[in-house]
Amino acid sequence: MASVPEGLRRFLRSVFGKNPQRARITMPTPKALPLHKVIMVGSGGVGKSALTLQFMYDEFVEDYEPTKADSYRKKITLDGEEVQIDILDTAGQEDYAAIRDNYFRSGEGFLCVFSITEQESFATTTEFREQILRVKCDRTEDMIPFLLVGNKADLADKRQVSPEEAGNRATAWKVPYVETSAKTRENVDKAFYDLMRKIREQKARENQKQNGKGKTTPSGGRSKRKCVIL
């Protein structure tokens, strides 16, 4: 084994002590990026998959074969911070209704999508929200990050749901409403980024509570819903 030059030996000794040849430089372990879990919900054919694929790959896919659920993950920069988004694109068909509970339990935030060209898809958003609230029964409504999304804004001439009608529902639910187009990419990033901000804010509140801050008294806090197992 080649000997260490005396000059280098003295330098290493000054840095690492008496055994420079045994010195090891340990690289810091990369910090895990924050992960935000988003669930796409809504009736079949409203464009949930098209929105997801447009956000993930900057590509509009018009025809998509529905499955139980497809999962995607992407690293993005959110307000200057590198994070990861995990998107679970669930099928809206009634055939898959029984398995949605398991998916909803894992979600941290929800994009509830309907088509502005289909009144029935707007009506079913109430059913999806009620299912989410039932599954997340250990949380109050304001603890569940949720956005109402009216998709297919590029088909305004075929509109059946007015911005006022959708906006009124969002106001009643105390959630944001945004209209998107998976085809033109209008507001696609906004929908996902706004939801991730709400997820991040909710996590920060939960961390504060765990650290003993921001606790509410029994009389001042909102009561949680009673869980019902069906």
- The SS3 of residue 10 is helix
The encoded tokens of residue 20 equal 């420079």
The encoded tokens of residue 152 equal 């297919």
CATH of the domain at 117: 3.40.50.300
Q: Tell me: the pLDDT tens digits for 55-80?
A: 999 999 988 776 667 999 999 999 99
Question: What is the Cα 52 distance to its own chain's centre?
Answer: 11
Predicted TM-score (pTM) of the model is 0.79
Q: Tell me: the pLDDT tens digits for 158-206?
A: 999 999 999 999 999 999 999 999 999 999 999 999 999 999 999 999 9
Amino acid at site 163: P
Which segments of 98-211 does DSSP mark as H helices, in order?
A: 100-106, 119-123, 125-135, 163-173, 188-210
The encoded tokens of residue 22 equal 């045994």
16 occurs within a structural domain: no
23 occurs within a structural domain: no
- Cβ 139 vs Cβ 109: under 8 Å: no
What is the residue whose two structure tokens read 């075929």? 158
Distances (CA, A) of 4 to 12, 17, 23, 24, 124: 10, 15, 12, 15, 75
Residue 3 predicted with pLDDT over 70: no
- The SS3 of residue 178 is strand
103 occurs within a structural domain: yes
Any bridge partners for residue 73, and if so which?
86
102 occurs within a structural domain: yes
- Cβ 222 vs Cβ 142: under 8 Å: yes
Amino acid at site 16: F
5 occurs within a structural domain: no
27 occurs within a structural domain: no
Range of the domain at 193: 35-209
| pLDDT confidence of residue 18 | 58
Domain count across the chain? 1
Distance CA 76, CA 83 (A): 6
1 occurs within a structural domain: no
Give the number of other Cβ atoms within 10 Å of residue 47's Cβ. Answer: 26
